[in-house]
Amino acid sequence: MHEFRWPLLGVIIPVLIIGFTAYGSHYFILRHHLSTTQQVIYECFASMIWISYIMAIYTSPGHPPKDYTPKKGEWKRYCTKCQSYKPPRTHHCSKCNRCIMEMDHHCPWTLNCVGANNLPHFMRFLFWVIVGTAYLFVQLCERIVGYYDDSDKPMYLIKRSELVAVVVFTPIDLFILLSITVLFIRCLINIGKGMTQIEIWEWDRIDSQFYSKRLWKSIRLSYKQSYGKELPQLTTWTNRAPVNDDDALPMEEMNQHEINEIGEGEALDGVATESQSRGVESDATAQQEFNNDDDDEDEEDIVPQNFTIDDLMFPYDYGVWGNLKHFLGSPFMWLVPWGKPKGNGYDLEPSSDYKEDDQLGLPWPPDGGNQNITISPPSDDELKRGIRNYSQLKKQLDPRSNAKRSSWHNDTGERLLDYGVYVDDSDDDKL
Ligand SMILES: [Zn+2]
Ligand SMILES: [Zn+2]
């Protein structure tokens, strides 16, 4: 998250840019070429930008009720800062110093969090900026084409102030149009998936750590803490049959399978005999280790082998249409400045798909954000045994694989802290 030395600059800069672009272009260019109706339409776009921006700044992102108590069967999450329980999807913002329902991120450009209640305003703001700048861009292009057509005319026939304005506003307008469109599409994709930016971040973390001991130790701990018993066999998590044939292979067959592949690969290099004999040897070792694991369910076995991130479900994904309505409210109100989201931000029902497939009653994130787990990096032997494909190997070797939730960062380098979320070492989401 970008932080300003003087936070007010976060609002002053956009105000200056919007005002300068909208009214400068109108005064120096558009009023000479557009009809009155077209000018009124252009000013309406500008007004919608101002209104939605002001609403995004002044509308509260939504704070959970002070006396919120988790519903029966709901994961108990406690905010040590607010000294109260927080609903699912709520995070404590370190900048606003309050709990924010369905927190998306803390926005330095509005000096406010984007959360359940003001996300529609934020999206409307982006939308109207795109509409306004796209409209202006078409006008600027027409002027540029006009100059090109008139290039054989004498210079004094061209209004100089307008020419300067076109040169100044075209790059500014194009830059705003492109950057805001990218941001808008990114937000729409998140909304379509039913997730806030923070939840997308959380999903990426789980994906990246999926084959790590840290994650599975935390999941087991989360489960034990809430149900007082060990996590059941993970094949019962979903009813889905393995899709890939390879997935269906029992461990001992899989090792054989893999070793055959190694043997074949090396045979091409002309060392077939040696590799095959080595192959048999490691096969026997792996088999022995596998059996040992079977006897005592030790740490070695903690990462499930025929289980992928696709088996995991996000509890609040109601399908694209349902998600759009959840975050932005009724479609008839999407463009209306006072349009509200569907729910109240704390009375959250998991999707019916999720309820059918109860995901063992684990919270989101399934490791409960447990931070206090110590982990040693996987040994060469463990890597050899557990790895079935390249993507798994890549994940296990990723230095972030066993990072704590507070220090994990996504591919663009963002930590939870960068969204404004308060995470301390005693952890954000623990029981
Ligand atoms: Zn809080
Ligand atoms: Zn905030």
Within this chain, do residues 377 and 232 fall inside the same structural domain, yes or no? yes
User: Does residue 322 lie within any of the structural domains?
Assistant: no
Closest ligand, as measured to the CA of 424: 1
Q: Name which of 266, 299, 263, 308 is nearest 381 in CA terms.
A: 299
Task: Based on the fold, state whether residues 157 and 242 are members of the same structural domain.
Answer: no
What is the distance in A from the centroid of ligand 2 to the CA of 97? 7
In the chain, the number of structural domains is 2
Q: Which domain holds residue 377?
A: 209-315+353-425
Active-site choice (107, 113, 141, 187):
107
The two most distant CA atoms of the chain are separated, in Å, by 93
In the numeric block, the tokens 């994904």 are attached to 317
Calculate how far, in angstroms, residue 419's C-alpha sits from the geometric centre of ligand 2: 8
What's the gap in Å between 61 CA and the centre of ligand 1? 13
pLDDT at 181 over 90: yes
**CA 146 – CA 163 distance, rounded (Å):** 11
pLDDT value of position 258: 35
pLDDT of residue 310: 81
Q: Separation of 106 CA from ligand 1 center, angstroms?
A: 14
Q: Are residues 181 and 64 in the same domain?
A: yes
Give the per-residue pLDDT at 171: 97
* CA dist., res. 259 & res. 272, Å (int): 12
Average pLDDT, the chain: 79
Q: Is residue 328 part of a domain?
A: no
Paired residues of 78 in beta bridges = 85
Residue 375 has pLDDT above 70, yes or no: no
**Among 4, 183, 186, which Cα is nearest to 95's?**
4
Same domain, 238 and 179: no
Domain-embedded: residue 405 = yes
Same domain, 287 and 360: yes
Predicted local distance difference test score (pLDDT) of residue 348: 87
Whose atoms come closest to the Cα of 87: which ligand?
1
pLDDT band at 151 (very low <50, low <70, confident <90, very high): confident
Confidence of residue 192 (pLDDT cuts 50, 70, 90): very high
- Checking if the pLDDT of 37 tops 80, the result is yes
Q: Which residues contact 372 (CB under 8 A, 6 or more apart)?
A: 425, 426, 427
Has residue 214 got a pLDDT over 90? Answer: no
Looking at the fold, whether 54 and 164 belong to one and the same domain comes out as yes
The rounded distance, in Å, linking the Cα atoms of 128 and 48 is 6
In the structure, what pLDDT confidence band is assigned to residue 5 with cuts at 50, 70 and 90? confident
> In this structure, which ligand is nearest to the CA of 103?
2
Give the lowest-confidence range in 84-93, 220-229, 422-431. 422-431
DSSP 421: B
Do 392 and 386 meet the contact criterion of CB atoms below 8 Å apart? yes
78, 141 in Cβ contact below 8 A?
Answer: no
Say which range, 173-177, 236-240, 345-349, has the weakest mean pLDDT.
236-240
Q: What is the pLDDT of residues 298-329, one digit of tens each?
A: 555 677 766 778 878 898 999 999 999 999 99
Distance 79 CA to ligand 1 centre (A): 5
Cα(96) to ligand 1 centroid in Å equals 10
Asked if residue 16 has pLDDT above 90, the reply is yes
* Percent of the chain clearing pLDDT 70 (strictly above): 75
The residue among 71 and 84 whose pLDDT is bigger is 84
Residues 125 and 77 in one domain: yes
Q: How far is the CA of 94 from the centre of ligand 2 (A)?
A: 7
- The rounded Å distance from CA 420 to ligand 2 centre is 6
- Give yes or no: 107 in active site: yes
What is the band of 167 on the pLDDT scale with cuts at 50, 70, 90? Answer: very high
Q: Do residue 378 and residue 303 come from a single domain?
A: yes
Q: Which ligand is nearest to the CA of 99?
A: 1
The confidence band for 157, taking pLDDT boundaries of 50, 70 and 90, is confident
Mean pLDDT comparison of 292-296, 349-353, 401-405, highest-scoring range: 349-353
Which ligand has the minimum distance to the alpha carbon of residue 421?
2
* Highest-confidence segment of 5-19, 48-62, 266-280: 48-62
Q: Residue 417 is which amino acid?
A: L
Query: Measuring CA to CA, which residue among 41, 62, 78, 173 is closest to residue 118?
Result: 62
- Domain membership of residue 343 (yes or no) is no
Q: Which ligand is nearest to the CA of 114?
A: 2
Do the Cβ atoms of 198 and 105 come closer than 8 Å? yes
Task: Please give the distance, rounded to the nearest whole angstrom, from the Cα atom of residue 174 to the centre of ligand 2.
Answer: 30
Same domain, residue pair 56 and 131: yes
Domain assignment of residue 347, yes or no: no
Domain edge (last residue) among 195, 218, 250 = 195
User: Residue 337 in contact with residue 52, Cβ under 8 Å?
Assistant: yes
Q: Are residues 248 and 387 in the same domain?
A: yes
- Picking from 151, 172, 195, the residue at the C-terminal end of a domain is 195
Q: For the chain, what percent of residues have pLDDT higher than 90?
A: 42
What's the pLDDT score for residue 284? 38
Token pair 């803490």 in the structure block, residue: 225
Q: How sure is the predictor about 260, in pLDDT bands with cuts at 50, 70 and 90?
A: very low
Q: Tell how far the Cα of 95 is from the centroid of ligand 2, in angstroms.
A: 5
Would you state the pLDDT for residue 234? 67
Please check whether residues 74 and 184 belong to one and the same domain.
yes
**Taking residues 362-368, what's their average pLDDT?**
76
| CA 210–ligand 2 middle distance (angstroms) | 30
Q: Which of 77-81, 120-124, 271-275, 285-289 has the lowest mean pLDDT?
A: 271-275
